[in-house]
Chain A
Amino acid sequence: MPIQLDLTDDQALFHETTARFIEAELPREKTREWHERPEGFDPGWLAKAAELGWFSMLVPEEAGGGSVSDNPLADAALVAEELGRQVQPGPFVPMNVALAAIARHGDPARRAELVPAGVAGQAIVTWAATDAAGDWDLGAGVTVEARGDALVVTGERGHVQDAAQADWLLVAATRDGEPVRVLVPRDAEGVTVTPLATLDLARRLAHVRLEAVAVPADALVGGGAEALWHQHRQAVVLNLAETVGAMDELFTMTVEYAKDRVAFGRPIGSFQALKHLMADMALWLEVSKAAATAAIDAVGRDAEDAAEVAAMAAAAVGEHGNELAQQCLQVHGGIGYTWEHDLHLLMRRIQSNSVLFGSPTWHREQLCRVHGLGEEVTR
């Protein structure tokens, strides 16, 4: 059953089609083939996924996008949830939020060139959002300077998803101290991509160094700080939908195992020590679903409290997700510690997601900032 309860018929159909596509194309057992390969995924598979609309949802119709309901973020969250369940590779979250930003704030000519190719899965666009250490800096670690008619981009971005496979990087940067975004071709001179070893075996992250990379003036994507924050919230929401999908899958797996596995002459799921633990886990999962649903709604509508709700949901899901995954391993015991078992794939994804767009601690601090706690206020 999907995380969001009140789906339209179109959304329900879309969700089902998505799940069937993943099952047919790249079920969890097949993703293992890609774990060893540095590129992480097959671009041909990405183009097939694009035919289902995976990269068009956050792009407005007039820019060549479109979605199945009037809350595109909710639709994208339906995909994200399934990506989590099946621990899929690929740049779903960064590519969607990057295309959304380009479609909305990019130069018209560049938009016309890039967005349709991205929506069709022909061009891979990723989002280089965080500083060298992987922390959100609102673009502070990269500067954009004018040089004649062109722009020069210098700095570092960390934890950039699928940077090695990408054709384009949408880089969070600053120009004259103001947050901006700038489009950089991955193969431009001065761009160095250094892949990192990752906890999540299906997720490629890389360090990106930009040494005086020259780009044309129309590479600038506007919108300012608020647009960057909005983009971050979108990523946070899709990321947590993915996490909750992974949690749901892992917990279902664990309950089934507890019913099947016999010890001391009984299914281990009949022991109160494990039943009570699993009741708490069921609660963490249900609360996470409630939080994710609220965040999808608030950020999708760009509601007044979107920043607060996204921070609260991310902190809650991040924390509950890791607790849940740990206890799923505990219930499984030794079998869950084996490489062959899928448990660790889900556990790795959940932990990785819980820090990718800000850790629970970071989101709690954001919550305090949103409320102005500790700041001087004029009453």
Chain B
Amino acid sequence: MSAPTPTAEALEAYRAEVRAWLADNLPERQGPVLRAAHEVTPEQLAEERALQAKLYEAGYLGITVPKEYGGQGLTGAHQRIWQEESARYALPAPGGVASHVTLGIVLPTLLAHASEEQKRDWIPKLLRGDELWCQLLSEPGAGSDLAGILTRATRDGDVWVLNGTKVWSSGALAADYGICLARTDWDVPKHRGLTWFKVPLRDPRVTVRPIREINGSAEFCEEFLDDVVVGDDMVIGAVNDGWTVANTMLTAERSGGAGAGAGAAPPAAPRGRRRLAPDLVRLAEQRGLERDGATRQLIARAHISDWLQGQLLKRIGAGLAAGQLNPAAVSLVKLRTGIHDPQRAAIAMEIAGRNGIAWPADDDAASAPAIDFLNGRIMSIAGGSNEIQRNIVSERLLGLPREPSVDSDKPFREVLRDAKSWGKRAGS
């Protein structure tokens, strides 16, 4: 952050250096980089970690991370050059999504809230690929209402004992550690009794299990913590100040993990002329509906909605960068994605008709509408549901008053007790 502004010549020299290193050391990208962590064999994982270490030793991981924590201490301009130049190369991502969580979400959170000692010790390992992290955040009973978690960390002499169940962790099977939110005080309001811990996932008292999702695959995991013991050196941020840390993390998560990490570049914008929703045109052609008026309207609607997604992102990005828009405007992009995705999937199913519910068993591509249909609500639920985004937009962007709250001002223990008698009370 405090790095001096580089000259144009210095940046061009840096670009040339980056370009040469990439050409000599990395293969060009063949397909998409994201995949589930457990599709990787231990050998592949070790290979990818070695490649990340190579990248780190060359100085291209943690470009904007301060030198004392093992980074390069360079500017955002250097980071952007790296992203532009590396976009077409296959960057190492050990554990796939685990790597993205580690560098995109955990790294900025640690930089903001970990102690000096922790940062000096942990961050170099994390940049080098020696330590992969995941989030231990949501629980079966707490998703959108994250501050309502039930995992407990109890003081026992000079250690903490953790018990509870976490869920929806991406990349947990490949990860070495989890950044875990637990309740450390039950006698204060829910936001004020939370603390973050670094939890070793290889500990025998931690059980990690993949969750099978409605689309049949298993991208996420659940974790069971049974008397997991950690010391004070594993506490991140102040005890009972976990909500402050959580806000940093959620911001990093909602901004798409564009933090100080490896910086997976966004997909390059398609060049030349746009094509009219090619997937939908193909589905229509398969049924001979390309001249059908109603179908054409659906295709146009989907194409326009795709385009609007990009235009909104462009506008909000520019407005935020120029300080012309309220930061809460980010939630508009998240909300629109959560609305657009299921609508888009429904249009594809409508056009596909019977081809969307049955297809030749050996034709993987033909399953796309069905998969999109099943995955359509990922963004409307994950990372703060549509309803949470609507609260943020209405309160922080429009300045509308908050609803009266039944749980934010009383001890969490009482919140749980009162919730059980809710039905009796409400009817009386």
Contacts and interface: CB of A to CB of B under 8 A. Distances in A.
Interface in B283-320: 290-291, 293, 296-297, 299-301, 303-304, 307-308, 311-312, 314-316, 318-319
A264 to B, nearest CB: 11
B279 interface: no
B378 interface: no
B322 A5 contact: yes
A321 to B, nearest CB: 14
A152 interface: no
B324 interface: yes
Contact of B303 (A282, A305, A312): A312
For chain A, the bracket of interface size reads 35 or more
B395 A275 contact: yes
Contacts, number: 125
B296 A374 contact: yes
Contacts of A368: 276, 296, 299-300
Contacts of B296: 364-365, 368, 373-374
Contact of B401 (A5, A259, A315, A374): A259
B106 to A, nearest CB: 30
A225 interface: no
Nearest to B316: A286
A371 B308 CA distance: 18
Interface centre among B273, B291, B336, B398 (most CB of A within 10 A): B398
A78 to B, nearest CB: 16
B273 A364 contact: no
Interface in B241-285: 273-276, 281
B393 A270 contact: no
Interface centre among A266, A280, A282, A373 (most CB of B within 10 A): A373
Interface centre among B316, B329, B394, B399 (most CB of A within 10 A): B394
B151 interface: no
B46 interface: no
Interface in A349-368: 361, 364-365, 367-368
A291 interface: yes
Interface in A271-324: 271-272, 274-276, 278-280, 282-283, 286-287, 289-291, 293-294, 304-305, 308, 312, 315-316
Given A276-B390, A279-B398, A312-B304, A373 B276 contact: yes
B354 interface: no
A267 B276 CA distance: 45
Given A290-B314, A364-B300, A365-B300, A283 B398 contact: no
B145 interface: no
A282 B312 contact: no
B389 interface: yes
Contacts of A365: 293, 296-297, 300
A110 to B, nearest CB: 38
B308 A279 contact: no
A280 B274 contact: no
A6 B312 contact: no
B393 to A, nearest CB: 4
Interface in B377-428: 387, 389-391, 393-395, 397-404
A294 to B, nearest CB: 5
B295 to A, nearest CB: 9
B332 interface: yes
A22 to B, nearest CB: 23
B134 interface: no
Interface centre among A278, A361, A367 (most CB of B within 10 A): A367
B400 A255 contact: yes
A5 B281 contact: no
Contacts of A76: none
Nearest to B400: A269
A1 interface: yes
B273 A305 contact: yes
Contact of A269 (B299, B319, B401): B401
B335 interface: yes
B42 to A, nearest CB: 45
A312 to B, nearest CB: 5
Contacts of B297: 361, 364-365
Given A276-B390, A279-B393, A283-B393, A270 B401 contact: yes
Interface centre among A5, A282, A290 (most CB of B within 10 A): A290
Given A255-B398, A272-B403, A371-B276, A286 B303 contact: no
Contacts of A286: 312, 315-316, 329, 332
B322 A6 contact: yes
Closest 10 CB pairs of A and B: A364-B300, A275-B394, A279-B390, A279-B393, A371-B276, A270-B401, A290-B311, A290-B315, A374-B291, A374-B290
5 contacts: A259-B400, A270-B400, A274-B400, A305-B274, A364-B297
Given A275-B398, A279-B391, A286-B316, 10 more contacts: A259-B399, A271-B403, A279-B398, A282-B332, A286-B329, A287-B311, A287-B336, A312-B307, A316-B308, A367-B304
